[in-house]
Amino acid sequence: MAALSQKHDVFHAIADPTRRKLLQLLADGEWSVTAISKQFPISRTAVSKHLRILAEAGLVQKRKTGRETRYRLDPNPLCELKQWLSFYEQFWENKLAMLQHYVEIEKHVAEVTDMNKYKKNKQ
Amino acid sequence: MAALSQKHDVFHAIADPTRRKLLQLLADGEWSVTAISKQFPISRTAVSKHLRILAEAGLVQKRKTGRETRYRLDPNPLCELKQWLSFYEQFWENKLAMLQHYVEIEKHVAEVTDMNKYKKNKQ
DNA sequence: ATTTTATGAAACCAAATAGTTTCGTTTTTG
DNA sequence: CAAAAACGAAACTATTTGGTTTCATAAAAT
């Protein structure tokens, strides 16, 4: 269900370093294609194609405003990645003491997950 | 040390669905190339090449025993992925609304850093 | 000693990737 | 209206990818 076998999934989308940089940039807000392109050493068309791939993976959303097309981050598909990762965390959490910081996050997640059992709808 | 810019990084390694299945299989223990190949519809040589890519990314380790080469999971490089992901977790509050508690810290950082350009994208 | 098994290297191939340049369309600006 | 700006589609190219088959080598089994 989460693993819809579309042409461009999240794993593929984030495999490219340029696309990861695009995501990082778009975390900052909404940008037009030209504005984005100025931050990269490749052509506008190349950037545009990367954005299309990110959009197909659901990682960005586009909005037309006049002659501009603006893109913004949509991080939701990264949940699939997180789920995938979570499976492997059991294998490393005992090994790596150096990840103190991120292990802390895990603790939080674990606590929250436990809280699910008696959660009150807060929305 | 984790972020060595080698030819096959973690992001690239896990982009391929076959390689993800390999990792999943190897989570189960140590397997010889032939044993692994029997679980896949592709040739042994193809599996072998995938394993090499995984090994270059540090995600599996190999051990020769007699004429066999056995591979096993090494999840440590996934930490880089986790770190990458952790940056974006602040943005997907819909899915992990319950993490608000923790995310508050991150939001503070984000606001201070990006005060000028911060835009709220409600949907 | 011979054969079988396990494996990687090499050569090859089709398709996908990441990039380019060119061109047409739409919207804004002068 | 005419020119410029913003963009995507299309055609083209070089490289990478994921797969194959073939072959050589080392270890195990007969």
Strand partners, B73: B60
Q: Strand D: which of residues 49-78 in chain A lie with Cβ below 7 A? A: 51-52, 62, 67-70
| Residue whose structure tokens are 């504005």 | A35
Nearest to B14 among A11, A87, A92 (CB): A11
Say which DSSP state A4 is in.
Answer: -
Between CA A82 and CA A102 the distance in angstroms is 13
Query: Residues A28-84: pLDDT tens digits?
Result: 899 999 999 999 999 999 999 999 999 999 999 999 999 999 999 999 999 999 999
pLDDT (0 to 100) of residue B91? 86
Nearest to B99 among A28, A29, A112 (CB): A112
Tell me the mean pLDDT in the region A2-25. 85
pLDDT (0 to 100) of residue A67? 97
Mean pLDDT of chain B: 79
- pLDDT band with cut points at 50, 70 and 90 for residue B121: very low
Q: Which of A49, A85, B45, A67 is nearest to A22 (CA)?
A: A49
Can you name the CATH fold of A10-73?
Arc Repressor Mutant, subunit A (1.10.10)
pLDDT (0 to 100) of residue A92? 79
Query: Residues A69-90: pLDDT tens digits?
Result: 999 999 999 999 999 999 999 8
3-state secondary structure of B47: helix
Between CA B89 and CA B66 the distance in angstroms is 46
Which has more pLDDT, A7 or B29? B29
Which has more pLDDT, B55 or B100? B55
Say which DSSP state B35 is in.
Answer: H
Residues of chain A contacting B86 with CB distance shorter than 8 Å: 102, 105
pLDDT (0 to 100) of residue A6? 62
Mean pLDDT of chain A: 80
pLDDT (0 to 100) of residue A103? 43
Is residue B1 a contact partner of residue A4, using CB atoms and an 8 Å limit?
no
Residues of chain B contacting A103 with CB distance shorter than 8 Å: none
pLDDT (0 to 100) of residue A112? 40
How many residues belong to chain A?
Answer: 123
Q: Which of B109, B120, B12 is nearest to B59 (CA)?
A: B12
pLDDT (0 to 100) of residue A100? 47
Nearest CA in chain B to A110: B99
Distance B112 CA to D17 C1' (A): 43
Which has more pLDDT, B103 or B81? B81
Write the CB contacts of B1 (distance below 8 Å, at least 6 apart in sequence): none
Query: Given an 8 Å threshold on Cβ–Cβ distance, is B87 in contact with A27?
Result: yes
Q: Does the pLDDT value for residue B9 go beyond 70?
A: yes
pLDDT (0 to 100) of residue B99? 45
Q: Does the pLDDT value for residue A3 go beyond 60?
A: no
Query: Residues B83-114: pLDDT tens digits?
Result: 999 999 988 765 444 444 343 434 333 333 33
DSSP secondary structure letters along A41-110: SS-HHHHHHHHHHHHHTTSEEEEEETTEEEEEE--TTHHHHHHHHHHHHHHHTTT-GGGHHHHHHHHHHH
Query: Given an 8 Å threshold on Cβ–Cβ distance, is A105 in contact with B102?
Result: yes
Nearest to A81 among B85, B94, B96 (CB): B85
Query: Residues B33-53: pLDDT tens digits?
Result: 999 999 999 999 999 999 999
In chain B, domain spans: 10-73, 78-114
Is residue A75 a contact partner of residue B88, using CB atoms and an 8 Å limit?
yes
